[in-house]
Amino acid sequence: MTKKLLKKAFIGLAVSTLTLGGCASIIGERVPAGYVGLLINQYGDKESRGIDNAEFVEGGRAIYNPVNQELVLFPTFVNKYSFTNSTIEQSPLPEAIGFSVAGTSVQEDVAISVLFNKENNGEFIKMYYATYRLAPEEFVRTHLRDEVRGCFNRAVVDANIQTPFEYQNQRIDILNRVEECIASSFNFLVVQNLEYLGKPQYPENIQTAIDEQFEAEQRAKSAEARARQAQAEAQAKIAEARGEAEAEKIRASVANDPNYLKYRQLEIEMARIEKWNGQEAAIVQTPNVQLGAGNNE
């Protein structure tokens, strides 16, 4: 009798434990705004398991069993990632993008703004996760950074840049080429922007040569500007002298013109008329004085 009671109690405890364990394994996790999720069955039949058959979750709460299911979240808002040599940026390791320009090592600090493409009911995201099986942050720090470096190398070759000086003058064009290259490499990413975060970093001897050439170009431009200014001033003086000479010639020719003389006489008469007060000029009479006459008295 006692053995039977103990056996029933053991069976009841085991069932309770399994029941409680099963309940505890089912959880609900909210998919935050700006994120989508892939709910992946790790086990089950071929038609339900794996990434290809994953459930695309957008908003709300995902109910799943973490024992045999996996929920992976992906941001669908724009994230900005920096690749620099500064250890106070997003990564404690130097991550500047290094590439080659005609055999010269160049490094650029860049930032890229991207988001995961959730279109087509998450098919692009499924494609991404089936290929890389990495969380977005891990992907950015590895594969995306490697592709940015590769795109810089390809852009320099496609632009036929032969020297660091040429690269210096075509950096914006190279940046646009790299952005297009990245967008075409990863169809599950939407590239919003790619930007430089500073000046390119060259070996010291190359940087010195670039600085010297830049200073020489600035001096040449300054000298050219001064020459243009002097030429403009000289031309202005010539034009002024020519104009004055023409004016003198015109004045001389007009002064001898009879019509001009008549016109000037009319001006003088008009001025005198305007000043006249309307009265006749006063006549001054003087006594009749005979000068030199003697006194007969």
Instruction: Read off the pLDDT of residues 66-112 as tens digits, 9 standing for 90 and up.
Output: 888 888 888 889 999 999 988 666 667 889 999 999 889 999 999 99
Task: Give 31-50 pLDDT, tens digit per residue.
Answer: 888 898 889 998 888 888 88
Q: Which residues pair with 27 in a beta bridge?
A: 64
Q: Alpha-carbon distance 178 to 196, whole Å?
A: 12
CA-CA-CA-CA dihedral for 212, 215, 219, 224, to nearest 10: 100
Output the pLDDT for position 242.
76
Give 28-92 as a DSSP string.
Answer: EEE--TTEEEEEEESSS-TTTSSGGGPEEE-SSEEEE-TTTEEEEEEE-S-EEEEE-S-TTSSSS
pLDDT number for residue 160? 95
Q: Give the three-state DSSP class for 154.
A: helix
> What's the pLDDT score for residue 166?
92
- Whole-number Å distance between alpha carbons of 143 and 294: 142
Q: What does pTM read for this prediction?
A: 0.60
- Residue 177 phi, psi dihedral angles, 5° rounding: -65, -40
Residues in the chain, pLDDT under 70:
1-25, 87-91, 214-215, 217-218, 220-223, 249, 252-255, 260, 277-297
Q: Give Cβ neighbours of residue 68 (< 8 Å, ≥ 6 apart).
A: 41, 42, 43, 44
With residue 201 as reference, give the H or E element that holds it. none
The per-type count for the chain, helices as H runs and strands as E runs, is: 8, 10
* Residue 132 CB contacts under 8 Å (≥ 6 apart), including other chains: 139, 143
* Run of H or E residues at 173: helix 171-185
User: What pLDDT shows up at residue 148?
Assistant: 97
> What does each C-alpha distance from 114 to 75, 187, 188, 194 come to in angstroms?
10, 12, 10, 9
